Amino acid sequence: MSSLRPWQELSPGGTIRPTDAEKPKTGSWRTGIKPLADLSKCTNCLLCWLYCPDSAILIEETTFVGFDDYFCKGCEVCAAVCPVGAIEMVPEETETPERWVMRSDESGS
Amino acid sequence: MSRLKRIALNQHGVQPLGGGHALCQGCGAPSIVRTVLSSIDTPVIVVNATGCLEVATSRYPITAWNVPWIHTAFENTAAVASGVEAAYKALKRRGTLPGGDKEVTIVAFGGDGGTYDIGIQALSGALERGHRFLYVCYDNGAYMNTGIQRSGATPYGADTTTSPVGSVSLGKMQQRKDLTAIAAAHHVPFVGQSSGARWQDLSSKVERAVAMDGPAFLNVMSDCPLGWGHEPRVGLDVMRAAQDSLFWPLFEIVNGEYKLSYRPRKVIPVTDFLKMQRRFAHLFKPGGEAMLEAIQQQVEADWSRLLKLCGEPVKELPVVKPAEETEEAEAVGAVA
């Protein structure tokens, strides 16, 4: 958290620019599990992206590329909503790629 | 291209509501915000009532929002949205807008406390004056942010901290108010009821709502793992059960014409929805049978009334007892 500032140093109207704002690491809320994707099952339907409460599903254009461990709170909604069971929750220590590469024929619209 | 991919592209690489907010694990509100804002093609201005969504996403000097966003008090969200709309129109007329005369869409978000109860006067005024904006109430059925106090949206029989279960009370003893009908009574162009678990329904309703030349109101069910008492991962199942048990039907009222958006293929008993949540657990103990029966009767009566308003045939309810699993039913009408 940023340190508190006196009111004289605050912006008029309490304006905040999103680009300046600190982004707290909500990934520390996880209690021992994190999501893992199985790309051989994934159909790139993006339902996990739509329903993730923490904007922790990373996409490029319309293609799934990974999970954002910095924001993911481990709520399991992505695993629950996946229609093909491509997401499972694994222990925090599991090595997971930072970026998944979808085969191009799976990422088409 | 599928609707979901269009929604994804509409973000231009930036989530309107990004990560880093302090909403609970599995909260239902952010995906409603994402679906609503990304279904709108123009730039948006968001007006946000005090509530979970506001408190958790804008802990000064931190914000999770990446779109123009204004925090308002509980009671004046619709009034501020009216002011934004009027100011934008005036500046556009004078030609003094920095960004030229782009079309923008003004969207107000409020919870059920800020909409059903505290903000209803401002909402009523804004709807009556005919400002062009979309008001989205995300209804999770209590003041969750301040510690699960009952609101006008809390269902009959629900356990909250101000309608507690004990020796003299079995949860909230009053019926919830029908805010969708109250909004419809203002004769605005678009009023709809949707659910956080039915993104296609929500997205298509938003598209129709913002195309209207006037106020639009959407009442969207949102789950609350903390206040409803369920695991975060089953939130969508709970909300889907609310549609399949007819507890929270989906419909829209366009220029006064009712239209049903979803008719479950197999109707499940309302107890299937209630038993998924700890806030109704006391109804399944001895002494709760009469209230369960009353809730089922109320739901059936409301459904029959809705069918008549929509001009749909009123048939004997095909309630399946006991329903072990809910089949994904097909949507009718509006859902693309």
* Domains of chain A in sequence order: 24-100 (3.30.70.20)
Instruction: Write down the residue that tokens 């009712």 correspond to.
Output: B258
Of the residues A17, A19, A47, A62, the best mutation for testing chain B's interface (the one with the most B CB atoms within 10 Å of its CB) is: A62
Separation of alpha carbons A35 and A44, rounded Å? 16
Instruction: Write down the residue that tokens 């009523």 correspond to.
Output: B124
Chain A CB contacts of B20 under 8 Å are 22-26, 71
Q: What is the pLDDT along chain B (336 residues), one digit of tens a residue?
A: 788 999 999 877 788 999 999 999 999 999 999 999 999 999 999 999 999 999 999 988 889 999 999 999 999 999 999 999 999 999 999 988 887 778 899 999 999 999 999 999 999 999 999 999 999 999 999 999 999 999 999 999 999 999 999 988 999 999 999 999 999 999 999 999 999 999 999 999 999 999 999 999 999 999 999 999 999 999 999 999 999 999 999 999 999 999 999 999 999 999 999 999 999 999 999 999 999 999 999 999 999 999 999 999 887 666 665 544 444 444 443 343
Decide if B233 and A73 are in contact by the 8 Å CB cutoff: no
Instruction: Note whether B199 contacts A: Cβ–Cβ < 8 A.
Output: yes
Decide if A77 and B2 are in contact by the 8 Å CB cutoff: no
Separation of alpha carbons A45 and B154, rounded Å? 34
* Contact (CB, 8 A) for B218 and B137: yes
* Contact (CB, 8 A) for B55 and B147: no
What's the pTM value of the predicted model, to 2 decimals?
0.91
Instruction: Note whether B96 contacts A: Cβ–Cβ < 8 A.
Output: no
Decide if B30 and A47 are in contact by the 8 Å CB cutoff: no
Q: Check if the interface score ipTM surpasses 0.85.
A: yes
SS3 B260: strand
Picking from B250, B248, B261, B254, the residue whose alpha carbon sits closest to that of residue B210 is: B254
Chain B CB contacts of A76 under 8 Å are 26, 231-233
